[in-house]
Amino acid sequence: MRRRVGWPMIVALLAAAFLLTAGIAIARYEDQLYSTQQIRDVTEQAQILAASVSAAVSFGDRAAAEEYVNALKVNPELRAAGVYDGSGKLFARFFRGSTLPAAMALSSTNWDALTSEGTLTVKVPVSAGGKTIGAVSVIATTEPAQRRLARYIGLILLVTMGALVIAVLGFSQAAISNRAEQLAQVNARLKQEMDERQKTEEALRQSHKMEAIGQLSGGIAHDFNNLIMIAKGSLGLLRKRLGPEILQPRAEQYLVSADEALDRAAALTRRILAFSRRQPLSAQAVHLGGVIADMNALIKHSVGEGVKIETVLAARWQTLCDVSQMENVILNLAINARDAMPDGGVLTIETRDVSLASAPPSVAEFVPGDYVALSVRDTGVGMSEEVLQRAFDPFFTTKPLGKGTGLGLSMTFGYVRQSNGYLAISSVPNKGTAITIYMPRIPESDT
Amino acid sequence: MRRALRSWLVGSAILLLGPLSSRAQDPLEYTVKAAYLTKFVPFINWPEQQLAAGAPITICIVGEDPFGLSLDKAAAAAGAGGRPLVIRRIATTDTAETQILARCQIAYAGDPLTSLDVIDALKGKPVVTVTDSGMRARGVISFVMQDNHVRFDIDDAAAEKSGIHFSSKLLELARAVNRRSENP
């Protein structure tokens, strides 16, 4: 796993670096302050000595000058102090560790403080009546670097400890937040996977249910169809055997009614067969746009005056389908849309080319690839969640009794699946419903 | 007698103070004393009404002058805090000359008689009277010889009456000081 350096880590490092820099800067500043302070102190002492010995130098009183010089001995920092007379000769002095030059050229002396190798030499002029009559030189010990360092060692230790603590805190903080982030990511992924799995299971269950219903109803419808064909055939034979002279007009009417009922039963079984994917299909390569354009008048007539129809035919790819079945499907969907918009609205029929890498919502057992999508959208009442769940169930209908068979959508579903296509449905109550059919694309060369 | 003492002192001074001066032709003791006369100046404060700011400091030699050119040389070398140093030589202590005398800042009298006159004439006036060593008459400053070195005594009490202030540095160098009263 990639090790990430989080922002708390960076902040901690920056803080530690700042603390260290600040500590060093403070120590340096203190050190500088100390040296300038020492120069000032020693210069002050030299100036006091120079002022004190002015009379002694003036009158050449060596004893008095020595008294003043020796008074400086109490300061342990001072290693030597000397008084020079007007001719630049050493006049009075004390030595302790350092030595003073025996003479000093007063006219060319630099009156600055001079620091070198642990000593600080300060020279100041002695004056009386506004004239330089001599000089004073004081040599002081400067603290060696180790001693000065030792004075700041406490501070340095403290600062280093502080920096370490901050760094460690930063490290642990970074680790914790890193870990928390990872956990959050894993958790989110897990949740997403669970959601996907639930959706897939739902879709699978739905498809299994449709499969089971289809098999059952298909089997029954098939047998039924055979029985209807026998009944129909028998009715035909009966009509032929009796002949028109025997069949009185009244009896003829019974035969016609029975025949019609058998036709309706045959139509019903056909639809059940369509849902159970057992109907014979005569598939051919077509442009869905052409199919829709051809049935424009039919759709218009079916949905009536109150609904505005918009068609967007953007698909360029071809698909393989049974045209008459497809017409049935489109008409079915259009009528459903009309029924969803009793107060009028907009019906949109749209085709477009799509390359699907993953399953559209509510579709299970999906094969990625190129599809021609046909959408039928309305701006009607929409469906509730429960209705949506059962929309493809055969004989499920929300229409009033006698208005719908409940086979429209299930038939569509069966037909589309039999054509290796997919059906996706989405609906928002009071906003409308969109049903999209994905039919597999077939290469142009097949036509 | 005084002459004999002086030549003896000069001899000793040459032996002992030889390195201090390079001018061998001057009598050493008086060269030192001449230097002292000028060097006193930075350490003495005269009352302001007697000495205007920037006015010259006048050193008067009353009667016999034992210094000669060495005093002028010392005056040229010494500093007086931005004031010029002027040397005046006064022959006697006549009434007319007492007026001049009162305008001096330092008045030196070398021989005993003149010394007494000068001290009398300047008593209570802000003039520092200086008397030579080996005399009974003693001015505010009196030279003394100690171990063949020129030293001086200071009568700070007399200075107080004249309104003159000596720097403590100078008082410290004096061999003896007649202290002024504790509560001035």
Whether A131 shows a pLDDT value over 50: the answer reads: yes
Retrieve residue B118's tokens: 């000068």
Whether A339 shows a pLDDT value over 80: the answer reads: yes
Give the mean pLDDT of B111-128.
86
Whether B130 shows a pLDDT value over 90: the answer reads: yes
Helix (H, G, I), strand (E, B) or coil at A138: strand
Rounded Cα distance between A135 and A89, Å, is 9
pLDDT band at B12 (very low <50, low <70, confident <90, very high): very low
Q: Any CB–CB contact under 8 A between A410 and chain B?
A: no
Given this model, what pLDDT does residue B182 score? 62
Whether A350 shows a pLDDT value over 90: the answer reads: yes
Whether B21 shows a pLDDT value over 60: the answer reads: no
The verdict on ipTM greater than 0.90 is no
Q: Which residue of B has its CA nearest to A63?
A: B173
pLDDT band at A91 (very low <50, low <70, confident <90, very high): confident
Give the mean pLDDT of A227-253.
84
Q: Which residue of A has its CA nearest to B150?
A: A59
Whether A419 shows a pLDDT value over 50: the answer reads: yes
Given this model, what pLDDT does residue A437 score? 92
pLDDT band at B26 (very low <50, low <70, confident <90, very high): very low
Given this model, what pLDDT does residue A187 score? 95
Shortest distance between the Cα of A87 and any Cα of chain B, in A, equals: 10
Q: Do A393 and A410 contact (CB within 8 A), yes or no?
A: yes
Nearest CA to B166 among A377, A55, A243, A402? Answer: A55
Rounded Cα distance between A366 and A196, Å, is 14
Given this model, what pLDDT does residue B13 score? 44
Q: Any CB–CB contact under 8 A between B45 and chain A?
A: no
Whether B140 shows a pLDDT value over 80: the answer reads: yes
Are the Cβ atoms of B39 and A58 closer than 8 angstroms? yes
Phi then psi for residue A66, to 5 deg, are -65, -35
Given this model, what pLDDT does residue B184 score? 47
Which among B78, B172, B173 is the nearest to A129, CB-wise? B78
Retrieve residue A388's tokens: 């949506």
Are the Cβ atoms of A131 and B79 closer than 8 angstroms? yes
Given this model, what pLDDT does residue B19 score? 39
pLDDT band at B124 (very low <50, low <70, confident <90, very high): confident
Nearest CA to A82 among A142, A140, A138? Answer: A138
Q: Considering only CB atoms, which chain B residues are within 8 Å of A130?
A: 42, 79-82
Are the Cβ atoms of B78 and A60 closer than 8 angstroms? no
pTM above 0.80, yes or no: no
Retrieve residue A273's tokens: 């067969």
Rounded Cα distance between B109 and B130, Å, is 6
Rounded Cα distance between A276 and A411, Å, is 8
pLDDT digits (tens, 9 = 90+) for A277-311: 677 777 888 899 888 988 888 888 888 888 899 99
Q: Considering only CB atoms, which chain B residues are within 8 Å of A60?
A: 20
Instruction: Tell me which of B31, B39, B46, B152 to substitute to probe the interface with A (most A C-beta atoms closer than 10 Å).
Output: B39
Given this model, what pLDDT does residue B183 score? 52
Rounded Cα distance between B171 and A162, Å, is 62
Q: Which residue of B has its CA nearest to A53?
A: B169
Given this model, what pLDDT does residue A446 score? 46
Q: Considering only CB atoms, which chain B residues are within 8 Å of A92?
A: none
Rounded Cα distance between A307 and B96, Å, is 147
Given this model, what pLDDT does residue A190 score? 95
Q: Which residue of A has its CA nearest to B169?
A: A55
